[in-house]
Chains A and B, each alone.
Chain A
Amino acid sequence: MESVLFGIGVTALAGALATIAGAAEDTESNIGSQGDPNSQVQLAPQMGYIHRIYNKAVSGEPPAYGLWVTISAGVAWAFMATGMNPVLALVIASALAIFVQGVYATTAYLGRTASLAKFEQPVYIDVIKSVTTVTMAHAFVAVFPAVVMCYLLIAALGHPFPLPLLGIVWGIALGAAGSATGNPFYGKERQYQSQKFGAGVPISASGNIVRYAEAGQRSSLDNGWFTAKLAGPASGICFGLIVFLEIWRTVLFEDVASGWGAIIAGVVIILIFTIIDRYVEVWARKNYGPYQAEATEEVSA
C-alpha cells in the first residue's frame, strides 16, 4: 500500500510537470513561430506581405524538443556522474540546453530572412532582441520540468532507461503532442485572424497573414499572448494526460493478472477517449451545421 501511494504521488507530480512542459512548449513555439504554421511566415513576403514576425525555422517541434530535452538530460547525467547534486545538475543542464536553443533560434531567423532578400523582407534586429529571450525563457519552462519528470521516473519509479534515453523519448513525444494540438490554433486562428471565424482558411488567402495589431504592428510576442489563452493550456493538458495516464495505469494495475491489468486499463482509457471524440464530433456537426454557399454558422463564444 505504501509503495502504491508513493507511486501515485510521483505519478501526479510527473503529470503536473508534463502539463507545465506542454503548455510552455506550445507557447514557445508560437512566439518563435516554429513548426508547420511557419510556412505562412515564410510565404508571406513572397506574396508581397512584409512582416515583423519571428521566423524560427529550426525543424519540426518534435526533433527540436527532442534535442533540447536530450541535451539537458545528457549534461545533467554527466554532472551527476561527477558527483553534483541532482537538482543543481538539472538546472544547469537545462540552462545549457536553452543556450543552444537560443543560438539555433537566432541563426534560423537570420538565415531564412536573409535568404528572402529578393522579396524585400528586411531583417529586424529589434525583433531578434525582444523575441529570442522570450522564447528562451519559455523553452526553459518547457525543458526543465520535462527533464525533472524523466529524472523522477528513473529515481522514484525505477524505469530501466538511463536519463538521456528517456530524454529523447519524452522530448520527441512532448514536441509531437504540443505541435499537433497547438499548431492549428496559431496557424489558422491567429495568423489568419482576419479571415472568417468557424471556417478553414481558403487556399487563395495563403500568405496574407495578420501583420498589424489593434494599434501598431505585430511581432511574434503578440502571438504568444494570444495562443497562451487556449492552445498552450490545451497542449499542456494533452501532454500531461499522456504522461499521467501512461504511468498511472502502469503503477496501479501492473500487478493485476500478471501484467494484463495495465493493458486492459489502457484499452479502456483509449475506448473512453474514442467515445468522447465521437461525441464532440457529432456535437459540432449538429450545432454548427453544414456550410452554406456563403455564410458560416456562427458560434456564440
Chain B
Amino acid sequence: MTVQITASEGGIPHNTIMAVGLVGSLVCLYLTYANQFLNAEYAAFFGGLAAVFALLWGTDTIKNLCSYGIGTGVPSAGMIAFGTGVIAMLLATKVETIVPFSAPIAAVVFGAIVGAVAGWIANEVMRMNIPVMVRSLTEMAIIGAIVLMGFTAAMAGGFGFDALAAREIAILGPLTTTSYVGSLLGGCLLAVSFMLGSLALQHPFNACLGPGEQQDRTMMLAAECGFLSMIAVAAISFAFIAFPAALLSLIVAIVGWYYTYVRFIELSKRDAFAWLDAKPILEPKGDD
C-alpha cells in the first residue's frame, strides 16, 4: 500500500514559468554587478532575489518530473540538481575572471551541459524512460547553478573566482593583507548554499503534494523557501560585505519571508478541509 503522487493539472503553463524564472533570475544576477559601481555592496540582495526566481521555476520543474513517479522520492531530485549545479557554477566563476560579465550566462550553459548528460544517463543508460527526464534534469542543473550563484552574490557581493578565493583584511589602517582561509571558498560556504538550495528546491512540491495540491499555494511556498534561505545567507553576508549592505539584505529577506509565509498560511486555510483549534478527531461520515 503506497501513496500515489498526485498534483493539480492546468494552471500557468510550465514554459511560461520557466521563461519568467530564467529571465528574472538572470536580470537579478546582472543587477548584482552594480556593486562594482557603488561604494558598498548594496546590490547584494539581488542575488537572493535571483535565487527566489530560480526556485519558483524549479518547483514547477520538480512537479512535472515527479508526477511520473521516479521511484526515489522528491528530495533526491533536489540533491542531483545541486550536485550538478555546484560544478557548473564554480566553472562559471572561473570564466568570469577571463571574460567579465559572463558568469550568469556561463552558469546556464554549463548547467545545461551537465544536467543534460545526467538526464540522458538516467533515461537511456539506467533505462528509466521518463519523457521529461532529460529536460527536467537540464533545467534543474541550471537552477542549481543560478541559485548557488545568487546566494554567493548575496554573501560576498560578487562571483569572480579570484574574489571568492581571497579576502582583503585591513591591518593597521591603510595596510591590508590577503586572507585565503577567511574567504568564501576557503570557508566552503558553498556547502551552506548547497544545502539551503537543495532543500528549498524540493520542499515546496514535496510539502504540498496530494490530491488537493494547488499551483498558487505551491508557488507561494517556493517563494517563502527562497526568502527563508535568504535570511540565513544574509546572516552569513555580515562576514563579507559592508554592514549596511548586509543589513539591507537581511531586511529584504525578512520582509519577503514574512509576507510569503502569511500568504501561504492564508492559502492553506483556503484549501484545507477544515481549520480547527483544539477539536477532536472528526471521523468521516461516509461509509467505510
Contacts and interface: CB of A to CB of B under 8 A. Distances in A.
B276 A122 contact: yes
B37 interface: no
B206 A59 contact: yes
A193 B267 CA distance: 35
A81 interface: yes
B211 interface: yes
- The DSSP consensus for interface residues of chain A is helix
B73 A168 contact: no
B277 interface: yes
Interface in B138-164: none
B207 A112 contact: yes
Contacts of B198: 63, 67
Contacts of B209: 112, 115
A114 B272 contact: yes
Given A110-B268, A114-B212, A117-B272, A77 B203 contact: no
A285 interface: no
Contact of B271 (A42, A114, A204, A207): A114
A109 to B, nearest CB: 8
A46 B3 contact: yes
Nearest to A130: B278
Contacts of A242: none
Given A110-B265, A111-B208, A58 B235 contact: no
Contact of B187 (A77, A82, A206): A77
Interface residues of A, number: 66
A89 to B, nearest CB: 11
Contacts of A8: none
A121 B265 CA distance: 17
A165 interface: yes
Interface in B178-202: 181-182, 186-189, 191-192, 194-196, 198-199, 202
Interface stretch (B97-105, B108-116, B123-131, B279-287): B279-287
A112 B257 CA distance: 20
A100 interface: yes
Given A111-B207, A164-B189, A116 B282 contact: no
A58 B212 contact: no
Interface stretch (B14-22, B26-34, B224-232): B224-232
A206 B3 CA distance: 10
B213 A115 contact: yes
Contacts of A47: 1
Contacts of A217: 280-281
Contacts of B225: 107
A152 interface: no
Given A125-B276, A164-B188, A51 B282 contact: no
B2 interface: yes
A82 B278 contact: no
Interface of A: 39, 42-43, 46-48, 50-52, 57-60, 63-64, 66-67, 70-71, 73-75, 77-79, 81-82, 96-97, 100, 103-104, 107-108, 110-126, 161-165, 167-168, 171, 203-204, 206-207, 211-212, 217
Given A70-B192, A125-B277, A206-B1, 16 more contacts: A39-B2, A59-B78, A63-B75, A78-B239, A100-B232, A103-B228, A107-B225, A108-B207, A111-B217, A114-B212, A117-B272, A120-B284, A124-B278, A164-B192, A168-B195, A212-B281
Interface of B: 1-3, 73-75, 78-79, 181-182, 186-189, 191-192, 194-196, 198-199, 202-204, 206-213, 217-218, 221, 224-225, 228-229, 231-232, 235-240, 257, 261, 264-265, 267-269, 271-284, 286, 288
26 contacts: A42-B210, A43-B1, A48-B286, A50-B281, A59-B206, A63-B78, A67-B199, A73-B192, A74-B187, A74-B189, A75-B192, A75-B236, A79-B239, A96-B231, A100-B232, A110-B264, A111-B207, A111-B264, A115-B211, A117-B272, A118-B210, A123-B275, A126-B277, A161-B188, A162-B187, A217-B281
